Amino acid sequence: MLLNQFLFLGAFLFCTGIFGVLTRKNAVLVLMSIELMLAAVNVNLVAFGAFHNAPTDPARVVGQVFALFVLTIAAAEVGVGLAIVLLIYRNLHSADLDDADTLKG
Amino acid sequence: MIWENIFFGVIAAAMAISALGVVTTKNVVHAALFLVVVLAGGAAQFLLLGQEFVAWVQVLVYIGAVIVLFLFGIMLTRAPMHPEESLENNLRWPAAAASLFLAGILGGLLVHEFHGVEIDLHSPVRTSEVTNAIFRTYLIPFEVVGVLLLGALVGAVVLARRD
């Protein structure tokens, strides 16, 4: 298999995630788009890990290990992010990011 | 060889369509369910690449935990369960231009750098190799990430607690 087909899949998912972050107004949907981007990065990392998979290559596990760290950070980020969204909802009675404009000059 | 590519194509098409669904659907719950398809497809691609540990961790952590968190978030913020027009701002075309611009740059770069590079799938990575690497070479980052998770947990509880 070609390395590029996985990299293109990752690039497509990443660009879709960027589109979602820029166009969505609901805070939970923005967080979902960020998850999409993190998943795209994971596809890239694992594809490069599989690319360096000669049996004696010390780099053959690095892709998986890095992907596991990304997964952990993503889980932590969702937890804190949803807590912040919940707080915004409680204070503004809306999860709409356009309503959270208190700091706007 | 041909079967791997057919498998890849089917899963990648499902992932791409679902990813577009996540960012364009008018129903918040459907977006979460589309995200499940994308992440499960990602896990299937990892299995295809012979990286099975991270594939099952993706199933457990993302599909098992993160999606449930998202569904809780949707419920707690009382997001509209029915199709709704007000989920998007008026940046649709600039955002599409920005992401297409990035896609063009990334695509050109990938074609330029990795054109025709093959992945050899004959030696899948065993789980024991990954865990050995985590608990030997990457022990300190692993512990740091553990502390980070604990901090995130406490922070989320403190933020979301009703005083």
CATH classification at residue A85? 1.10.287.3510
B38 in any annotated domain: yes
Quick check: B20 pLDDT over 80?
Answer: yes
Asked which of B82, B105, B134 is the last residue of a domain, the reply is B82
The arithmetic mean of pLDDT across residues B39-58, rounded, is 94
Q: Which domain holds residue A78?
A: 3-96
Task: Tell whether B20 and B76 lie within a shared domain.
Answer: yes
Asked which of B82, B98, B118 is the last residue of a domain, the reply is B82
Task: Tell whether B58 and B133 lie within a shared domain.
Answer: no
Residue A12 distance to chain B (closest CA, Å): 7
> Quick one: pLDDT band at residue A22, thresholds 50, 70, 90?
very high
Q: Note the ipTM here.
A: 0.91
Closest by CA to B92, choosing from B13, B24, B22, B16, is B24
Residues 65-94 of A with CB under 8 A from B: 65, 67-69, 71-80, 82-87, 89-90
The per-residue pLDDT for B98 is: 94
Q: Which domain holds residue B29?
A: 1-82
Give the Cα separation of A59 and A71 in Å (integer): 19
Please indicate whether, in this complex, the C-beta atoms of A85 and B42 are within 8 angstroms of each other. Answer: no
The per-residue pLDDT for A98 is: 85
Residue A57 distance to chain B (closest CA, Å): 11
The per-residue pLDDT for A69 is: 95
**pTM of the predicted protein model:** 0.92
A59 contacts chain B (CB < 8 A): no
A102 in any annotated domain: no
Q: What type of residue is A67?
A: A
User: Which stretches within A52-95 are classed as H helix?
Assistant: 62-92
Quick check: B112 pLDDT over 80?
Answer: yes
**How many domains would you assign to chain A?**
1
